[in-house]
Amino acid sequence: MDPSTGARVAAFFDLDKTVIAKSSLLAFSRPFFQGGLINRRAVLKSAYAQFVFMQSGADADQIERMRQHITALCAGWDVGQVRAIVEETLHDIVDPLVYKEATQLIADHRAAGHDVVVVSASGQEIVAPIADMLGATQSLATRMVVADGRYTGEVDFYCYAENKAVAIKQLAAANGYDLADCHAYSDSATDEPMLAVVGHPTAVNPDRALRKAAAQQGWPVLTFSDPVSLRARIPTPSGTAVAVTAVSLGAVAAAGVAWYGIRRRRRA
């Protein structure tokens, strides 16, 4: 809450490459393989896509193609099995990937009385447990259509780009947030709509396009570079509420899409 206005304040965090060092979705490729959800070829594609994602990210067209690939791939998956796999492997997979700087920033916001919301294009079955692990108040994520306990392969809500800003506005209206007082953190230019909707946007580990936009808009830029296990470090609030912000694209499948872009160029 902002003591000067009495309004509730939230800090919106993108997930991939903002809070954690890799793609949250692709990080679970191995346990999904072990659970029989994907084959070995898909694991190899995910590993390569993760590498490309870390090196250069992916553009909007690549991300859209990857979204289509992922939704088709998960058609027929048992939702309960996905949740069980994520719950069983969450700490082993995600815990070592969390940026120390992000955990401190989250702790500072919580100490200031702010709600913390993780916003990601990855599926809610992955994002919600990660948000809980981070101590976030809640999460906004992509929702798949489910019928008879299984994914149909259709998307109910794609939490990406402009849709992130839409979801944030809806949450602000429901929870009484004054967006002018809110913060947002993200690494990708596709999250510019999210960053622009709050009063305190911040670029974190920005890609080239977002770095340029941040310079033009006068947005602060932060660099997070130290992944550390949450088990080994419980952040202590610094006592200074952070006044910078930025929301993220949480590039759900940003990583894997790059693989398809490279393959397409090779065929051309």
pTM: predicted TM-score of the whole model, two decimal places: 0.79
Least confident of 20-29, 63-72, 222-231, 240-249: 240-249
Map out the domains of the chain with their CATH numbers.
Answer: 10-263 (3.40.50.1000)
Report residue 9: phi and psi, to 5°. -125, 140
Cα-to-chain-centroid distance, residue 112: 23
Given a cut of 80, whether residue 255 has pLDDT beyond it is no
**Could you tell me what percent of the chain has a pLDDT over 90?**
57
Given a cut of 90, whether residue 69 has pLDDT beyond it is no
Given a cut of 90, whether residue 45 has pLDDT beyond it is no
Given a cut of 80, whether residue 86 has pLDDT beyond it is yes
Q: What's the pLDDT score for residue 266?
A: 39
Structure tokens at 192: 């510019």
> Of the residues 2, 14, 61, 78, which is catalytic?
14
Given a cut of 50, whether residue 129 has pLDDT beyond it is yes
**In the chain, helix, strand, coil percent, each to 5?**
50, 20, 30
Given a cut of 90, whether residue 50 has pLDDT beyond it is no
SS3 132: helix
The mean per-residue pLDDT over the stretch 178-199 comes to: 97
Catalytic residue flag (residue 59): no
Least confident of 30-34, 96-100, 215-219, 254-258: 254-258
Give the Cα separation of 98 and 95 in Å (integer): 6
> Of the residues 16, 108, 191, 207, which is catalytic?
16
Catalytic residue flag (residue 16): yes
pLDDT grade for 38, boundaries at 50, 70 and 90: confident
Q: What's the pLDDT score for residue 44?
A: 47
